[in-house]
Amino acid sequence: MKKNSSVVVDLLLLLLAITVLATPAFSDLVLSKVERRIDVTSQIARVTKTLKVVNSGSESVSEFTLTFPKFLGNNLAYLSVSHSEGKGKAKRSLANLSVKEAHPKGMPDSISFYSVSLPKPLSKGDTLTLEVVAAFTNVLQPFPEKITQRDIHLVMLQESAQYLSPYVVESQSLSIKLPNARIESYSKLENTKVQGSEIKYGPYKNLAQYSYAPIVVHFESKAAFAVAEKLVREIEVSHWGNVQVTEHYNLVHRGAQLKGEFSRLEYQDRPNPQGVSAFRHLLARLPPRAHSIYYRDDIGNISTSQMQSDSKKTELLIEPRFPLFGGWKTFFTIGYGLPLSDFLFASEGKRFLDISFGSPMIDLVTEKLIVQVVLPEGSKDISVTTPFAVKQSHEIKYSHLDIAGRPVVVLEKNNVVPDHNQKIQVYYKFSNINLLSEPLMLITGFFVLFITCIIYTRADFSISKSSAAYLAKLQWDEVLATLQEVQNIIQKCLAAHDKLEASLRDLSRTGDIQTCKAARKSTDSLLKDLSKELRPLLASLQSFPSASQISPKVEELVAKERELQEKLMAKHTTVVEGYEKKSSGRDIENRIASQQQKIIALRQEVDDLLEFIDEI
Amino acid sequence: MAANGSPKPEPMAAKKASPDLLNSSFSFKSLKLKTKQQELLLRVSILGLVYVLAFIARLFSVLRYESMIHEFDPYFNYRTTLFLTEKGFYEFWNWFDSESWYPLGRIIGGTLYPGLMVTAALIYWTLRFLRFFVHIREVCVLTAPFFASNTTLVAYFFGKEIWDTGAGLVAAALIAICPGYISRSVAGSYDNEAVAIFALLLTFYLFVKAVKTGSLSWALGSAFGYFYMVSAWGGYVFIINLVPLYVLVLLITGRYSMRLYVAYNCMYILGMLLAMQIRFVGFQHVQSGEHMAAMGVFLLMQVFYFLDWVKHQLNDTKLFQTFLRITVTSAILVGGIALGVGTASGYISPWTGRFYSLLDPTYAKDHIPIIASVSEHQPTAWSSFMFDYHILLFLFPAGLYFCFKRLSDATIFIVMYGLTSLYFAGVMVRLILVATPAVCLISAIAVSATVKNLTSLLRTKQKVPQTGSAKGVGSSKSSSKVTLDQSQPFHKNGAIALLVGVFYLLSRYAIHCTWVTSEAYSSPSIVLAARGAHGNRIIFDDYREAYYWLRQNTPTDAKVMSWWDYGYQITAMGNRTVIVDNNTWNNTHIATVGRAMSSYEDEAYDIMRSLDVNYVLVVFGGVTGYSSDDINKFLWMVRIGGGVYPVIKEPDYLVNGEFRVDKGASPKMLNCLMYKLCYYRFGELVTEYGKPTGYDRARGVEIGNKDIKLEHLEEAYTTSNWIVRIYRVKPPTNRL
């Protein structure tokens, strides 16, 4: 009620001020026809005016003044004036005109002034049609201010039936479009008509300057009074092909507050659910090709959202965790990725990001919007162009693998309505080389890691080089190395044996004694060399005290190998002799049978010993 | 392999087999030069795979749900970690939390084990330092899987220490997927146990290593491992009792050595001093009854050493015998007197209830209902052993057999660890976790030893046919070998069959573990999932709905009263002050809440006014059929409330010893606060087709009191599936 009474005081002041106004301070313009349409189907009051301006004075005029009562002017979120030429269907509207707030002297405080500079000075007798679009927030006052869950949501609109203007108005009319036909009350003046959900006032003829006829319309509104108290949009550009948008909403329902109980039973009652003043979901229209969409809050993912997408748009229907009644709040984050190629363009050696400024939510009022454009690390010469005035500042943000940090352009604007959803451009310079820095850093990191590992395994880090344990370890390493060599030699010997056997088999097939003998000769010399090599190794092995357990085994191995070698030689000699004497195959076989058996047994023993040594 | 044979001319068909075999064995031997490296490579890659497997097997919950913190306690840990990373270590250490236990508050820094939070914060800071700007929540969610992976490494080294590398590898693989361990270490299960099992196993491993080598450095390592364990979990009491017990057993069995002396003294003294740095533990090592065993064994070791020295000095055995008698009696006398005086004067605190309830499973049920009311403190059912261990349950005795066959200091330790922890696992469900590493290690010994025996059997056999064919030239002479071969097919086939059996069992184990992990242990329990009529997945996210409503739409200083189960979640997710929470340190306070819940509304109103309560939160499953709700927990509230306030009597809420909520329920039950809050306006709701209104699906009855009027409270919020209901406490009406 307090708010309402203050509005009433405002109105009184306004009326007082208007009566006080004496001289026409403004030029001799006359508004020959004014049509006003107020659309209050959503929470935003959208006023569209068509003004036909005639210069009835003698001097040409280049400025036009728009006025609003202060209580409206304070809530003005968006104002655009354009002028149109031609008539009827052929009418086309031309470029927007520049508008700025004016504070003419000697004018009462209860009126807000905006001066519009006309495209060309309006000379005597000329006419001009202006199209004015204005959006007001917070002008629909919930009344009563607190309702229970069962009540319907009523709001109140205050306006003037007559157009408040510093100029004489010859004819004006007003129509108010309401969301539905349920009208609680409205001010009845002359020429008031109600047609369904529309109320019409006027036309009123020949109104003096600053005419004012307050009206109040009290009606039902089912619109969602969703207001983002604060919205932070973070737009992060990655030159790897993605624009990541993250939006943090502090949402509140600014309609009539809920009083008393919230009953889930009544809220979910099927035939006639109660609690119509609450809203369950919000619709966001994201750009086409939006991907990896998420919707979460401080405590996790929110699973109640639906998405539809086609080539033109992506529609995301999000449902807060709980229905929002009047006065209830919530906070959530939505995020999505956009393809870089749709938003990043190049011009004159610079790149620019062309992306919409406001929130993608339908009919959302944002009280404080902060847009942070995060550019890649190493971007330079950053500049921003916006279609309307915003507060600008710069920050640095650190993200994965950043060293210098990423430059951030911060844009701030209060009282943002969907009409502000226009494109902004962020220009910057960026060299493609910088793209490679992060992968290179990773590669270097891993490289260093592996190098350290290699150094660690290769280098000797023991502190005391003379301690017994350390020396024993060194010695043991040497023993193992020697053992390895012994094994290698034995393996070579065995390989030589195999070769000898193979030569015997060849002999039995081809009968070529010479080749066999040659093989024998080469094997002999090879084996001799090997045994020569073996000797110092065995000696050194015996000298190690720590190898005392192993060396007998090794010696046994060497002895067995030698025995095997001898037996094999004997067998070879027997076979070759047999062939030279041209004995029969069976005869030779019989002769070597006993040797063969020994050889196999010896070979087995050697293998076992080798295996044993291998396991040390 | 046959590359060596190929350049030669085509051999005769009859002799073809033998040269090939010879050649192949030859080339195999030339490869054998690198066997050591090959084995190392194989071992490292198996370990690496096991490491990765242990990590990814725990990510089911992240895939099924999201990267979120689970259950109850982890929310507290998460909240404190958040505080630590935001405010720094000193602020954390001095944190007085006024958001819980209103109006008492809680000194967080002095009443928690900071190991987990500090670990997560260190990982977080390290990643930040390395320029990875991750969210602390992700770090917290993945801490448990990360430490589970590290545990597999420790298990490998432990297995290697007590048996051989094979057993180590098998142990690592077994523990990586063992459900008993996974149950507490899935992603999001950000609880003390997540790092504590790693610390526990590490301490044991280092201690065994120290005993084995007698090296001071290993003992020092184990002292630090113990310090980490103390900082992470109250279960450190298990270490400080098991280690002295082990030492005692070694003393008795005559395995006393200098190595043991060095290892235990270093570990105990340093570990004790380090543990005193944790504020929550403080001087308990010298003052509490639970830690006295360690001290006693420490003193005993000194006596033992002294006697050893005296025995060395004295040559006369008779003299020594008398000396021994005198020393032992006086030592026991002095120790007994010190203990008696300490206990009597109150310097040494007696055993706590939890400790008692471990030794005597029925103790908690009779004396401390607040411990008995927790489901994870119940005695373990046989089925859950089978569920959590599967084949390990019968591999465990087999492993014990192998351990006893090859007794050493290390195997004695693992046997004792296994047997004691298995006993505790039988007493309390949650202690299955502590027994899991031991069971895995012992089972790994069984598997590894069996497989090794079987394969060596197979390998010796393979050699005989090889030699047989190698002598193929003299084929008829193999009669002696044939007799040898006759017994072998049976052996060989048996070995093959057994091996196949082992692999079948192990693969069944792997399948079981995967199934259990995905079906039973990966649910965050804060989000409930159910299958709809068409097989689609339905998610009940009511808890978070309610907590978020509290967070957004209540005054920031609002006090919320609920049963203690939800305390941590309300403070962490709802960011509101609670009366009681899961840190059940003040039984009276909890009993007061229990009393309020079980009183009539006007009596409860006085209690709530005195506690400054603004909102009351209850959990109710009547609409969805969610059974772990407050009505089903109600009897515990009555019992705990009645334990302090005798005006609350359990029989008042029962009818013939039966707990019911339908028309036959007792009048006190039908009109107590909990009943009213749960069933307020429920009598008008149709929950199931074909059933009367007010049909409670969780209990399957029609409720007894359908016309509930609230006088001092009003419904503030109820979640979409009615699981959480929040009531506002009305201010008192003006007195005329």
**C-beta atoms of B132 and A400 within 8 A:** yes
- Determine the pLDDT at residue A14: 57
Best residue of A295, A322, A503 to probe chain B, by most B CBs closer than 10 Å: A322
pTM above threshold 0.90: no
Q: Which of helix, strand or coil describes residue B146? A: helix
- Taking contacts as CB-CB distances below 8 angstroms, the residues of chain A near B132 are 400-401
Q: Which domain does A525 fall in, by range?
A: 468-615
**B172: its two tokens:** 């690592």
- Determine the pLDDT at residue B619: 95
- Same domain membership, residue A142 and residue A38: yes
Find, among B731, B637, B620, B633, the residue nearest to B677 by Cα. Answer: B620
Q: In A312-377, which ranges are E strands?
A: 314-318, 329-339, 344-347, 350-356, 365-374
DSSP characters over B176-194: HH-HHHHTTTSTT--SHHH
- Same domain membership, residue A283 and residue A186: no
| Cα(B380)–Cα(B357) distance, integer angstroms | 14
- Determine the pLDDT at residue A74: 87
Question: Where are the domains positioned within chain B?
Answer: 219-349, 539-729
Find, among A170, A184, A141, the residue nearest to A30 by Cα. Answer: A170
- What parts of chain B have a pLDDT lower than 50? 1-33, 461, 463-486
Q: How confident is the model over A8-31, as a mean pLDDT? A: 58
Last residue of a domain, one of A370, A405, A430: A430
**C-beta atoms of A597 and B539 within 8 A:** no
Residue at token pair 């030569």: A503
Task: Flag whether A143 is in a domain.
Answer: yes
- Determine the pLDDT at residue B34: 59
> CATH number for the domain including A414?
2.60.40.1730
Q: Convert B251-268 to b/e letters by CB count within 10 Å (16 or more is b).
A: eeeebbeebbbbbbbbbb
> CATH number for the domain including A139?
2.60.40
- Same domain membership, residue A320 and residue A344: yes
**C-beta atoms of A263 and B553 within 8 A:** no
CA–CA–CA angle A587, A592, A596 (5° rounding): 145
Across the interface, which of A300, A328, A400 has its CB nearest the CB of B544? A300
* Alpha-carbon gap: B141 to the closest alpha carbon of chain A (Å): 12
Q: What is the pLDDT of residues A271-323, one digit of tens each?
A: 777 777 778 888 999 998 899 999 999 888 888 788 888 888 889 999 899 99
* Alpha-carbon gap: A66 to the closest alpha carbon of chain B (Å): 42
Number of separate domains in chain A: 3
SS3 content of chain A, % helix, strand, coil (to 5): 30, 40, 30
Q: Kind of pairing, strands B106-107 and A406-416?
A: unpaired
Task: Flag whether A458 is in a domain.
Answer: no
Q: Which of helix, strand or coil describes residue B436? A: helix
C-alpha distances in angstroms, B718 versus A267, A365, B542, B559, B722? 10, 28, 9, 18, 6
ipTM: 0.83
| Cα(B21)–Cα(B463) distance, integer angstroms | 11
CATH number of B539-729: 3.40.50.12610
- Same domain membership, residue A499 and residue A406: no
**A571: its two tokens:** 């067998």
Find, among B201, B55, B202, B26, the residue nearest to B142 by Cα. Answer: B55
Rg (CA), chain A: 48
Across the interface, which of A264, A589, A607 has its CB nearest the CB of B718? A264
Across the interface, which of A330, A593, A607 has its CB nearest the CB of B552? A330
Q: Which amino acid is it at A159?
A: E
Q: How confident is the model over A333-341, as a mean pLDDT? A: 94
Q: Which of helix, strand or coil describes residue A101? A: strand
Find, among B141, B432, B414, the residue nearest to A301 by Cα. Answer: B141
- Same domain membership, residue A394 and residue A480: no
Find, among B240, B143, B238, B136, the residue nearest to B192 by Cα. Answer: B143
**B457: its two tokens:** 């059997």
**B38: its two tokens:** 């090959």
Neighbour count for residue A488 (Cβ, 10 Å): 15
CA atoms within 13 A on the CB side of B299: 16
C-alpha distances in angstroms, A57 versus A94, A116, A383, A452? 25, 18, 45, 89
**C-beta atoms of A614 and B547 within 8 A:** no
| Cα(A527)–Cα(A566) distance, integer angstroms | 11
Q: Kind of pairing, strands A168-177 and A198-207?
A: antiparallel
* A93: pLDDT strictly greater than 80: no
- Taking contacts as CB-CB distances below 8 angstroms, the residues of chain B near A496 are none
- Determine the pLDDT at residue B552: 94
Task: Flag whether A256 is in a domain.
Answer: yes
* Alpha-carbon gap: A401 to the closest alpha carbon of chain B (Å): 5
- Same domain membership, residue A257 and residue A197: no
Burial class (CB in 10 A: 0-12, 13-18, 19+), A196: exposed
Task: Flag whether A5 is in a domain.
Answer: no
> Where does A222-262 have alpha helices with state H?
none
Q: Convert B595-616 to b/e letters by CB count within 10 Å (16 or more is b).
A: bbbbbebeebbebbeebebbbb
Omega of the bond leading into A320 within 30 degrees of 0 (cis): no
- Same domain membership, residue A479 and residue A420: no
| Cα(B380)–Cα(B424) distance, integer angstroms | 9
**C-beta atoms of B26 and A597 within 8 A:** no
Residue at token pair 């004075």: A57
* A179: pLDDT strictly greater than 70: yes
**A115: its two tokens:** 């001066």
Task: Flag whether A121 is in a domain.
Answer: yes
Across the interface, which of A299, A401, A597 has its CB nearest the CB of B544? A299
| Cα(A341)–Cα(A344) distance, integer angstroms | 6
Q: Are B248 and B300 in contact (CB under 8 A)?
A: yes
Task: Flag whether A457 is in a domain.
Answer: no
- Determine the pLDDT at residue B557: 93
**C-beta atoms of B131 and A321 within 8 A:** no
* A113: pLDDT strictly greater than 50: yes
Task: Flag whether A459 is in a domain.
Answer: no
Across the interface, which of A299, A303, A604 has its CB nearest the CB of B547? A299
- Same domain membership, residue A247 and residue A319: yes
* A595: pLDDT strictly greater than 90: no
- Same domain membership, residue A105 and residue A194: yes
| Cα(B713)–Cα(B729) distance, integer angstroms | 5
> Where does B360-478 have alpha helices with state H?
363-367, 369-372, 382-389, 392-405, 409-427, 432-470
| Cα(B386)–Cα(B392) distance, integer angstroms | 9
Q: Which of helix, strand or coil describes residue B143? A: helix
Q: Find residue A394's DSSP bridge partners.
A: A409
- Same domain membership, residue A404 and residue A283: yes
* Alpha-carbon gap: A260 to the closest alpha carbon of chain B (Å): 8
Q: Kind of pairing, strands A365-374 and A226-238?
A: parallel
**B143: its two tokens:** 């801490």
Q: Which of helix, strand or coil describes residue A285? A: strand
Q: Are B452 and B166 in contact (CB under 8 A)?
A: yes
Find, among A382, A432, A370, the residue nearest to A407 by Cα. Answer: A382
- Same domain membership, residue A231 and residue A198: no
Q: In B557-677, which ranges are E strands?
A: 559-561, 577-578, 615-619
Find, among B637, B619, B735, B627, the residue nearest to B678 by Cα. Answer: B619
**C-beta atoms of B547 and A262 within 8 A:** no
* Alpha-carbon gap: A518 to the closest alpha carbon of chain B (Å): 17
**C-beta atoms of A260 and B33 within 8 A:** no
**C-beta atoms of A299 and B19 within 8 A:** no
DSSP characters over B571-604: IIII--EES--SS---HHHHHHHHHHHTSBHHHH
Tell which wins on pLDDT, B614 or A459: B614
> Across the A/B interface, how many CB contacts are shorter than 8 Å?
111
- Determine the pLDDT at residue A87: 56
Residue at token pair 């066997």: B35
| Cα(B239)–Cα(B206) distance, integer angstroms | 12
B129: nearest CA partner in chain A: A401
**C-beta atoms of B684 and A265 within 8 A:** yes
Omega of the bond leading into A203 within 30 degrees of 0 (cis): yes
- Same domain membership, residue A202 and residue A78: yes
Handedness of CA B225, B228, B230, B232 (dihedral sign): negative
Q: How confident is the model over A475-482, as a mean pLDDT? A: 83
Across the interface, which of A260, A298, A299 has its CB nearest the CB of B714? A260
Q: Are B723 and B543 in contact (CB under 8 A)?
A: yes
